[in-house]
Amino acid sequence: MRIVSLHKNYKNVIARAKEGQRKAQQELYELFAPKMLSVCRQYIKREDIAEEVMLNGFLKVFTYLSSYKFEGSFEGWIRRIMVNESISQLRKDKKLFFEEEKAIEKNQDLVAYIETALEVNEIQKIIDALPDGYKTVFVLYAVEGYKHSEIAELLEISENTSKTQLFKARKMLQQKVNQQNKIGYGTH
Amino acid sequence: MEPIKFEENIREKLQERELQPRKEAWAKLSAQLDAQQPKKTSNTLLWMAVAASFVGIFLVTTLFFNKEKQQTQLVAEPSVEVLEEDKQNQSEIASEENAIEVEKEEVIPETEDIIIPKTEVAKVLKTEKNKAVQKFETPKEAKETLAVNEVQKQTTLEKEKTNQEQFIDSKVDEVVVAVQKIQKENNAVTPDEIDALLAKAQRDIANNRILNANTQKVDATALLMDVETELERSFRDRVFDVLGEGFNKIRSAVAERNN
């Protein structure tokens, strides 16, 4: 409820944070940090590093707050900064490798997932298990809603590579979900 | 489960997720922001210094220009006043002249008779052909020209006749003509009417002296000279000299003095 009431007038808070008022900055941080840590955590397995990335992201948010002109959602604006910061971190750690691959064969349809509603922790676990390249493209596409052209630009790869990375990510994910379900059923 | 549906489930779950950062995280960020702050303050200090210097320059220039303005105002104000007074006088005189003109229509032949010899006198005065004037003018007028001759001699002895002098002379003639006109029409001239005419003529002369006709600028030396005019023979005296016959008392007084 507190968040809802804060959402209503956080324009005012943004304006004050723009002036460099620390209290307003803290308000914005407390409002968006949990969601943004979640965003960073999608790409970065280690929580402490994810938090570090999130803090760096917020530092950029407050530094470049003056360039935010209240066009589009503020959350979306911060989110993009967090995504970029996460990818920068992956690059820095030399975790992003993308092999240029041929177009996906159309016959290679995905097999249906085993009927199951995974809990968020389980989802994260499965995503964490993916190679960073697959994971990044998958999260950008499936969770953040980026287009292949946008992913290609962001990761400095071709659109085709983005597509094949997504396909491979999906395939691997499917296998892992099904495998986890089997294990899950087995333990029951 | 369909793959798309599965991904939708992942999206929803992940987008809703919130992970609480450690409590010390904000302190860390705040410290980082503080570390950034000195840069900002130094920048703002620099900008403040620049702004302050601009304000300083602005103040100095405005003070300088205000001073200049005040100086020019000191010079310009009197002439403005003169002009304004002149306007008022002109309007007064204009109303008087209108009144005179109404009467003038009845006595046109008379006034014309007077004007012609008077303008001739003025011409003669300027060319200094005094003898010729004496030949065709009446004894009364001759006396007038004699009186004027003395004035002329005084001025010609000092310097060559300047434009200023010419202007003054023309004004003298104007006033004389006007007074005589009024005298002919009314058989008597009130001191107020004379004063009004003299005041107008004096202002015209003062304006002409101070304001350069070509540039319309105030002549500072002329303005200073204007203060000293009281030391010289006043314009009024010269008018009375020229008027001569028209005013018996004045004429006799002037004649006595001149003699």
Q: What pLDDT does residue B146 have?
A: 59
Task: Report pLDDT digits (tens) over A129-156.
Answer: 999 999 999 999 999 999 999 999 999 9
**Which of B2, B11, B18 comes nearest A38 by C-beta?**
B18
Look up the pTM and report it: 0.49
CA distance B11 to B17: 10
Query: Residue A164 pLDDT > 80, yes or no?
Result: yes
Task: Assess whether pLDDT exceeds 70 at residue A112.
Answer: no
Among A22-31, A64-73, A173-182, the range of highest mean pLDDT: A22-31
| Interface confidence (ipTM) of the complex | 0.82
pLDDT of A55 reads 95
The answer to whether the CB atoms of A38 and B21 lie below 8 A apart is no
pLDDT over threshold 90, residue A57: yes
CB-nearest partner of B29 from A47, A55, A117: A55
Is pLDDT above 90 for B256?
Answer: no
Q: What confidence score (pLDDT) does residue B132 get?
A: 42
Per-residue confidence (pLDDT) for residue B131, from 0 to 100: 45
Comparing B5 with A67, which gets the higher pLDDT?
Answer: A67
- Residue B104 pLDDT exceeds 50: no
List pLDDT tens digits, range B33-50: 888 765 555 567 778 888
Closest Cβ opposite residue A143 in set B3, B10, B29:
B10
Residues 14-33 of B with CB under 8 A from A: 14-22, 25-26, 28-30, 32-33
Q: What is the mean pLDDT of chain B?
A: 67
| Predicted local distance difference test score (pLDDT) of residue B112 | 43
